[in-house]
Amino acid sequence: MWDPEVARRILVETKNLEPWPEVASRVLQLSQRHEVIPGELVSVIQTDAALTAKVLRLANSAYYGFRREIASLSEAGNALGVQALVNLVLTGCASQYFHGTRRGERGKALWERSVMNAFSAQLLARVHGSVDPERAYTVALLQNIGHLVIDEFLDEYTESIERVLHDGGDLLAAERSVLGQNHAQIGARLARRWGFPEVLADTIEFHHSPHRAGVDPELAAIAHLAESITYALSLGDGLESLDYSFSESALELTGLDRTAFLSMEELIRQEFDKAKDVLESAA
């Protein structure tokens, strides 16, 4: 079923997607330095007035629960720290891509799931202990950017993908059958084009098969589990219903047993409730 011409289309359309904002790229690059301080990020962020306003709106969302209004980027940086400030920047920038896809409602739903992924991953990382929660938030927020290329430029293939799914295939197999590669591989290509750190690109590529991740399998496992949680709960089901290509090896990589994992459901639902305010603030 796969036409080699589709691979060329994916390469071309990945390049056609609006470039990742330069300010966000610089912030992401700076955040990889161990000695970076919030003030260095602030000096970059404040060069973009629209992004500054969005970051402040997010910082003042009910999720963070500050007792007084955060009136400046410096206050936000000092109150939240480097990595949380980076995540506000990424959340603010990423929202425009998901809301900008041609399939409006689909883009909105994908954005909501991406934010839920991020909060799930952050919570899982805190429980796990050896994966940085803010990095987990970042990668889980962005791990489905490959869908942006499919939805924006390859919409004519969606029906074929859905037909394969209807015949009993899973999503990744259906995408490979029709497009020659799945959304995770497309997302990794886009992440590298946008200059993301390799740990993020690698995790995006292998978040459905974390044991294959070459940079940080534990981070990929957290991202995988977070997405599985989001799909289960967004369907109104409990975690026992996990079936979205769930990888048991992800639990092994994180050291979480299934019982402990399932017991986190209520905590995760609480995080989802908090995240609603972030979704509104980022819109």
Average pLDDT over residues 20-29: 90
Q: Which residue has the higher pLDDT, 59 or 7?
A: 59
Q: What range defines the domain where residue 224 resides?
A: 4-19+103-282
Torsion over CA: 19, 275, 117, 249 (sign): positive
Half-sphere exposure of 260 (CA within 13 A, CB side): 9
Q: Which residues of 153-184 are buried (b: 16+ CB within 10 A; e: fewer)?
A: bbeebeebbeebeeeebebbebbbbbbbbbbb
Residue 206: pLDDT band (50, 70, 90) is very high
pTM: 0.86
What pLDDT does 184 receive?
A: 94
Query: Is 270 inside any structural domain?
Result: yes
pLDDT by residue (tens digit) across 92-129? 888 888 876 555 677 788 888 898 899 889 988 988 88
Q: How far apart are CA 261 and CA 104, in angstroms?
A: 34
CATH of the domain at 153: 1.10.3210.10
CA distances from 126 to 2, 122, 195, 266, 267 (A): 42, 6, 27, 15, 12
pLDDT above 90 coverage of the chain, percent: 36
pLDDT at 242 over 70: no
Residue 40 lies in a domain: no
> pLDDT-derived band of residue 188, with 50, 70 and 90 as boundaries?
very high
pLDDT at 240 exceeding the cut of 70: no
User: Residue 239's pLDDT is what?
Assistant: 56
Contacts of residues 69-74 at CB distance under 8 Å and 24 or more positions apart, as own/partner, are 73/42, 73/45, 73/46, 74/38, 74/39, 74/42
Digit-coded pLDDT (tens) for 28-85: 989 888 889 999 999 999 999 999 999 999 999 888 888 889 999 999 999 999 989 9
Q: Which pLDDT does position 219 carry in this prediction?
A: 95
The percentage of residues in the chain with a pLDDT greater than 70, rounded to a whole number, is 91
Say which range, 28-42, 160-174, 179-193, 198-212, has the weakest mean pLDDT. 160-174
- What is the structure's pLDDT at 32? 85
pLDDT of residue 235: 55
Are the C-beta atoms of residues 24 and 93 closer than 8 Å to each other? yes
Give the Cα separation of 237 and 222 in Å (integer). 20
Q: Is 98 part of a structural domain of the chain? A: no
The domain total for the chain is 1
Asked whether residue 144 is domain-assigned, the answer is yes
DSSP secondary structure string for all residues of 213-248: -SS-HHHHHHHHHHHHHHHHHHTT--GGG--SS--H
